[in-house]
Amino acid sequence: GGGGISCVLQDGEVFEKAGVNVSVVFGLLSEEAARQMRSRGKSLKAKDGKLPFCAMGVSSVIHPKNPHVPTMHFNYRYFEIEEADGNKQWWFGGGTDLTPTYLNEEDAVHFHKTLKEACDKHDLKLYPKYKKWCDDYFYIKHRGERRGIGGIFFDDVDSPSKEEVFQFVKSCTKAVVPCYIPLVKRHCHDSFTPEEKLWQQIRRGRYVEFNLVYDRGTKFGLLTPGSRIESILMSLPLTARWEYMHTPPESSKEAEILEVLRNPKDWVH
Parent domain of 122: 2-262
- Binned at pLDDT 50, 70 and 90, residue 217 comes out as confident
Asked if residue 112 belongs to a domain, the reply is yes
Structure confidence at residue 89 (pLDDT)? 87
Using the predicted structure, report yes or no on whether residue 224 has a pLDDT greater than 80.
Answer: no
Q: Give the residue-averaged pLDDT of 22-46.
A: 77
Task: Judge whether 59 lies within some domain.
Answer: yes
- Assign residue 23 the CATH number of its domain: 3.40.1500.10
User: 268 lies in a domain?
Assistant: no
What global pTM score does this model have? 0.93
- Specify whether 73 is catalytic: yes
Q: Can you tell me the mean pLDDT for 44-65?
A: 87
Is residue 36's pLDDT more than 80? no
- What domain count does the chain have? 1
Whether 27 is covered by a domain: the verdict is yes
Selected catalytic residue, list 63, 73, 110, 112:
73
**Does position 171 have pLDDT exceeding 90, yes or no?**
yes
pLDDT at 86: 81
Q: Please give, one letter per residue, the 3-state secondary structure of the chain.
A: CEEEEEEEEECCCCEEEEEEEEEEEEEECCHHHHHHHHHCCCCCCCECCECEEEEEEEEEEEEECCCCCCEEEEEEEEEEEECCCCCEEEEEEEEEEEECCCCCHHHHHHHHHHHHHHHHCCCCCHHHHHHHHHHHHCEECCCCEECCCEEEEEEEECCCCHHHHHHHHHHHHHCHHHHHHHHHHHHCCCCCCHHHHHHHHHHHHHHHHHHHHCCHHHHHHHHCCCCCHHHHHHHCCCCCCCCCCCCCCCCCHHHHHHHHHHCCCCCCC
Q: Is the pLDDT of residue 109 over 80?
A: yes
Residue 44 pLDDT? 72
